[in-house]
Chain A
């Protein structure tokens, strides 16, 4: 049970890390049309 649950938790952590990285890339691009706002998790 523990291993199975940790597998799921691991996937969720991976998702957060990947999403944060991609949001960072959008910010770094500076393209407003893509959603760049100046802050990683801020959106318009």
Chain B
């Protein structure tokens, strides 16, 4: 079984976002980058699939040299090899998907894993975009999966419940938190990753269909009212919510 897992390199969740001098992108200074958290679940599940069904796991990322750090981590977790599609220019989600799907077409994997969303631009669109470009099915927000009779049966999260989805293979699957508990790279894994190959390919520039006009911080909230510090304040709080804020 050939499994490709697409990963992204994103600012960590502690990042306090500042708008860059162009007014359109984030100021990268001082930001600590990590493997996108949802992609960690995708990598873990890809590795578990390989452990169960055999085959190989290939990690792929689109971006600049900095993405190698993230690919190294995925190799240390246990992926067999990595591909870096090199291009550091700004693109929209469609442009990212186009480059990934072009590379995937050549690789013809059985399963493609992505994270549910990147925690930077929050598009949550990659599984559908890639799958449609490859003309194959997809399942997003996956919290459980099992291959049965050449098909994959997934549990996906929806509002107030789960859907059990059956899909043909090949398919693109998007990992949600809860799918598994990602492993930490072992010391042996980290050592082994150093000798695993990262193949670099120059990615073509993409056309931008969705142009960012400006980036801004949300309006800061006005200071609130601390009603009190003990149960004596409860009645007043309820009154304020009912009469002033009118939300109850």
Chains A and B bind each other: no
